[in-house]
Structure 1
Amino acid sequence: MSLSQPEQRFVVKVVQKLETSNNPFIHPYTFGDRLQFITDKSQLTNLTISQSRSHSGDEIFSFEIEVFFEYFLSNKRAQAFSNQLITGNPIDPFSEKCPGTIKSFVDENKDIWINEGENLLKLVRWRYNSTFDLSGIKEKVYLTLDEINWTEIHTRPSGLVLTGAWMSEEIDVNQEIQKLLDSKISEPLYADILIEAKSQSSAAKRSAYILAVAALEIGVKQIIIKFKPDTSWLLDNIQSPPIEKLLREYLPQIAGGIVLSEETLKEVRNIVSDRNVMSHKGSFNLSFIQFHERINLINDLLRLFDKLSGNKWAEKYIVEKRTL
């Protein structure tokens, strides 16, 4: 009996861009040239380094990377991708409508796609004794059947937009901010830490995850103390119960009967457990989609705390309404 063979060839292209003011200390003759490399996992990797000046006269160094990966997909996966390509719309593996075969393919390969370019930049940075930061790197991923027509694959869920997402709303920004100032409200510590975590979510997933869980722990304690001040000393000075238990026991008391689902509470327990493993062993075993789903859940819980604190506008920033 002969085994069926993969029939459809696909090519994935990853385009990554990074701008830095830190001189990479590479000989200027390389600026503007397209350098080409072959790696273990990629078919071809192009690197272009350029130099320019900002409006203020500062030197700006830009890296642009193109990494190509070749795949021969089974009939089932090939058909799923072909159906998506026909629509002409970007492929969104985070959408509920996206076929499971596509979601699993992206989940299996996304870290490889992104890491190839980042590892190349890390090698350049190490070899030329530079200090440029990779946290500002931006990437786009494309898929093609014919290497002519490219369809984008989303690499982040829409809920991870960091800044300016709703500044176009028809609201009086001056009045909104003044109201917060008059109420002597400042950005909560947990929000500041979560933003820092999100900013590292591409270049340093392990540290981003550890920071995000720390933000959740701080947020849970702060919302309980806000509504139950008598718990302040205990939560600040004695090892508190697990976050899952605090949410289970205290949230219904302070939030007018809000009870999180067992699914959410179980995921919170897993979130903290995996953080503890990372902190002690240094390993990072979360898949790409699992990582972002957990960051989104932490975001949603913290925004729920914002809403419970009287900031009704926070509800619009909740990605998954399941936490309400």
Structure 2
Amino acid sequence: CSFSFSAFFLFCLYLDMGNLLKVLTCTDLEQEPNFFLDFENAQPTDAEREVWEEVDVVLKDAAAILDELQAYKGAGREIREAIQNPSDEGLQDEAWAAVVPLVGRLKKFYEFSQRLEAALHRLLRALTSESYNDPMQHLEREQALAKQFAEILHFTLRFDELKMTNPAIQNDFSYYRRTLNRMRINNVPAEGENEVNNELANRISLFYADATPMLKTLSDGTTKFVSENKNLPIENTTDVLSTMASVCKVMLENPDYRCRFSSEETVSFCLRVMVGVIILYDYVHPVGAFSKSSKIDMKGCIKVLKDQPPNTVDGLLNALRYTTKHLNDESTNKTIKAMLQP
């Protein structure tokens, strides 16, 4: 017995207490998912097909939406000239003619956000149902649906990155609303008013007023899903989110998994998905993603982000810094706050 105690004592000298507890309890090993989620090639099974096809109709439009947003140049020149020369009717007409089609495009983006939220709800219903006891089983067996969920998150973060770097969007819409109100006061017929009426204009304005409008739509949508489905325990949703975050982290940090990606684009995709599910988890879980009781290894996830090449994940780190709900709570670990300092 004395020899065993001495050996154990020496063992303690080489292990800090945190690591020793991990060895004794194995909780970290139990929580770490050990399967590869095929974001590149997953195909729907017969059981997934109905939901997959519904969501696929929405996702087919996602790439075109991003292309249109990336190409969005705005009517800055026309608006400036109209404002500087308020008595020049020709310049006023030119600015209005330039803005109206752009507002139609902004309306299209907003309406797509509503379709995306509906698709998210459809996927959450499938992935959080009680047919399996373990969220890992859902993600492993329903990989095509998990891939679609990931594609929604990837699109969302990419959309918001593009929107944040394009101030013309809010400038154009603000000018449109001011001009429309002035036309109404002067009883001037306004081409395009029927397309974007006042009620819709209010909703669109609120949408673009947010720094990350698409992420807010999904965060609010996930919260709404949880509140409307009281028959499902909240853990059904949060466990799926935390498991997907863990799957992404493991695939990114494990060379055996990462080498199965066919391109670096999949690495970027996986990073965005990891950050996206962390943010959703932080909004839905009562105490968020940064608390001690969180099922997400936040230190590990942040480390994975910081291990990427310089300047490639600044937008994702900023998303964790500025769009999460609980980062600045007093209960958040100081080490995590320090890791996310700009």
User: TM-score range with shorter-chain normalisation?
Assistant: under 0.3
Q: TM-score, length-normalised on structure 1?
A: 0.26
Greater relative contact order structure (CA < 8 Å, 6+ sep): 2
Max Rg structure: 2
Q: TM-score, length-normalised on structure 2?
A: 0.25
Greater fraction strand: 1
